[in-house]
Amino acid sequence: MLIKVESSKPLEEVRQKLEETAKSKGFGVMSVHEVTNILQSKGHPISYGCVIVEICQPKAASQVLSKKPDISTAMPCRVSIYEENGKTVLATISPLQMIEMFNEPELKDIAQEIESTVKEIMEESAG
């Protein structure tokens, strides 16, 4: 399941706000992928702006990875910011559904907490 939030703000403004908001809520910005620029430089352009920001909450990451290293394949949280139909869209895969995929019910509370915070970060960034 995707969590999506729309904004009328420009992509770059939303990206900057997302990075600031994530940091203010205890998340680190692990990496930023300039998808549009990367594809253009490789000769395969797309017709819209797209950036992926990877964020991580260190305490939660440590708890989850201590329990099951396989979950590292789904980390960190990736928030895609892209232009669609005149809007800027923020989208991420539900951390709660990702945890369910790994069949680790005891990690459900952590996943729910992360999902709530990431959604809050996205909503604040869009506003």
pLDDT (tens digit, 9 = 90+) per residue, 48-86? 999 999 999 999 999 999 999 999 999 999 999 999 999
Enter the DSSP assignment of 26.
Answer: T
Closest CA to 125 of 1, 41, 21: 21
Closest CA to 95 of 111, 83, 108, 107: 111
pTM given for the model:
0.94
Count CB neighbours of 85 within 10 A.
7
Residue 22 CA to residue 67 CA, distance in Å, equals 24
pLDDT (tens digit, 9 = 90+) per residue, 2-39? 999 999 999 999 999 999 999 999 999 999 999 999 99
Kindly list the domain boundaries of the chain, sorted by start residue.
Answer: 2-126
Sign of the alpha-carbon torsion through 105, 110, 114, 115: positive
The CATH number fitting domain 2-126, selected from 3.40.1440.10, 3.30.310.70, 1.10.3720.10, 3.30.70.270: 3.30.310.70
